[in-house]
């Protein structure tokens, strides 16, 4: 062979790989098949969009976490939520969406599902399971749940809602990112589909995007898999490797987030500038009884309502923070803070809070350093 050909053909993947602790990272679009008959064999991996070593290993590990044989990966948490909807909903269907849902989920329902003839009805997260099911019509195909709710941290009685929905043949979909699939097991409580943004706690380092969906329903699992191929979703093998590495330490990191988060939440409860803290693991939280019954722990994300003050004072508070970064997302090792009031304007059910709403993510830093940072910020708030 000519040297040009030899340079192209030599140095390809070895027939056997050394056995290592972690899976190899295979970067490939083309998968070479053994013979002509294999080209159209659906039982073989024929294309690199899914099934290579690191994504396959991540799926196996997530299946263990979620208690399900069927895990579909998506390029982001939002893609997981929207991907499930696209896979199972059709024109003429109706979906009941909790009003405290993740804002981009609302955006997808309002901008995309509407164009495809799917009606969205937003419901109050405080509704009882009976009142929620009373909203269902013959067209209701799915109920979207989230507990605790985004920004305002309301709890829902997930097992009761799932049981009632199953009795009517309605699919339940939950965004379970807050519990990271670790502190709450939706499928074990009757939920049809569990979704989480792996970007958050599974990744744990704020450096890559991914989402997952899992179900015990074989028919729906096939729909999710088919939609992945039909629409062309894929995840990077490098990101899958990063996610798998993060998953290995999830059981070590989450308890520290829980401990730090509760310590800071209790400290905030004593502050004169704070009206109340929104954290279901606190005994005086309205959702505490449900959280204690169904969840085995808490993460580091919660909200706080300040006593009435100006936006200028809120901005002074946030701008004074040094250890808390000002940024969206959460679940990494670092602490974050955001002002939530602008997002509450999109709610269908009015949120009547007595003062400005902040959301904090408590990372893995020392609690004493975090409270000292907050103390300085409160001084700036008072001065403003």
DSSP 149: P
Q: How many residues does the chain have?
A: 384
Listed in sequence order, the DSSP H helices in 147-217 are 158-167
pLDDT tens across the length of the chain (384 residues): 898 888 888 887 777 888 888 888 888 888 889 999 999 998 888 888 877 999 999 999 999 999 999 899 999 999 999 999 999 999 999 999 999 999 999 999 999 999 999 999 999 999 999 999 999 999 999 999 999 999 999 999 999 999 999 999 999 999 999 999 999 999 999 999 999 999 999 999 999 999 999 999 999 999 999 999 999 999 999 999 999 999 999 999 999 999 999 999 999 999 999 999 999 999 999 999 999 999 999 999 999 999 999 999 999 999 999 999 999 999 999 999 999 999 999 899 999 899 999 999 999 999 999 999 999 999 999 999
The confidence score (pLDDT) of residue 348 equals 94
Neighbouring CB atoms inside 10 A of 29's CB total: 8
For the chain, report the end-to-end CA distance as a whole number of angstroms: 77
Query: Given this model, what pLDDT does residue 51 score?
Result: 72
What's the rounded Cα separation, in Å, for the pair 323 and 383?
20
CA dist 228 → 51, 223, 372 (Å): 12, 9, 47
State the pLDDT at residue 324.
98
φ and ψ at 144, to 5 degrees?
-100, 125
Quick one: how many helices (H) and strands (E) in the chain? Answer: 13, 12
Give the per-residue pLDDT at 163.
98
pLDDT of residue 141: 98
| DSSP code string of 62-111 | HHHHHT-SEEEEESSHHHHHHHHHHHH--TT-EEEEETTS-HHHHHHIII
């Amino acid at each position: 062979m000519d040297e040009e050909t030899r340079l192209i053909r030599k140095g390809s993947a070895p027939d056997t790989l050394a056995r290592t602790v972690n899976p190899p990272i295979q970067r490939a679009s083309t998968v070479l098949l053994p013979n002509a008959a294999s080209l159209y064999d659906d039982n073989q991996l024929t294309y690199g969009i899914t099934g290579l070593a690191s994504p396959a290993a991540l799926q196996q590990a997530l299946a263990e976490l979620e208690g399900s044989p069927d895990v579909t990966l998506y390029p982001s948490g939002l893609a997981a939520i929207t991907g499930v909807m696209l896979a199972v909903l059709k024109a003429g269907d109706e979906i009941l969406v909790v009003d405290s849902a993740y804002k981009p989920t609302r955006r997808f329902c309002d901008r995309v599902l509407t164009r495809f003839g799917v009606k969205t009805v937003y419901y109050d997260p405080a509704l009882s399971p009976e009142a929620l099911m009373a909203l269902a019509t013959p067209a209701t195909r799915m109920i979207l749940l989230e507990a605790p709710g985004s920004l305002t941290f309301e709890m829902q009685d997930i097992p009761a809602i799932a049981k009632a929905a199953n009795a009517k043949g309605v699919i339940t979909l939950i965004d379970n990112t807050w519990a990271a699939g670790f502190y709450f097991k939706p499928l074990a409580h009757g939920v049809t589909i569990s979704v989480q943004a792996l970007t958050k706690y599974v990744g744990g380092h704020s450096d890559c995007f991914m989402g997952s969906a899992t179900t015990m329903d074989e028919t729906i699992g096939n729909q999710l898999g088919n939609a992945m191929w039909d629409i062309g979703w894929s995840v990077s093998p490098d990101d899958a490797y990063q996610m798998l590495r993060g998953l290995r330490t999830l059981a070590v990191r989450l308890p520290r987030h829980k401990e730090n988060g509760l310590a800071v939440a209790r400290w905030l409860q004593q502050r004169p500038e704070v009206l109340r803290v929104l954290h279901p693991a606190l005994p005086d939280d309205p959702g505490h009884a449900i959280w204690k019954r169904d969840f085995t722990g808490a993460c580091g994300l919660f909200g706080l309502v300040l006593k009435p003050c100006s936006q200028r004072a809120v901005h002074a508070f946030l701008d004074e923070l040094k250890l808390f970064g000002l940024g969206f997302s959460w679940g990494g090792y670092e602490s974050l803070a955001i002002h939530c009031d602008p997002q509450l304007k999109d709610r269908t059910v009015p949120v009547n809070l007595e003062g400005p709403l902040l959301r904090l993510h408590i990372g893995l830093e020392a609690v004493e350093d975090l409270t000292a940072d907050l103390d300085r910020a409160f001084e700036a708030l008072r001065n403003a």
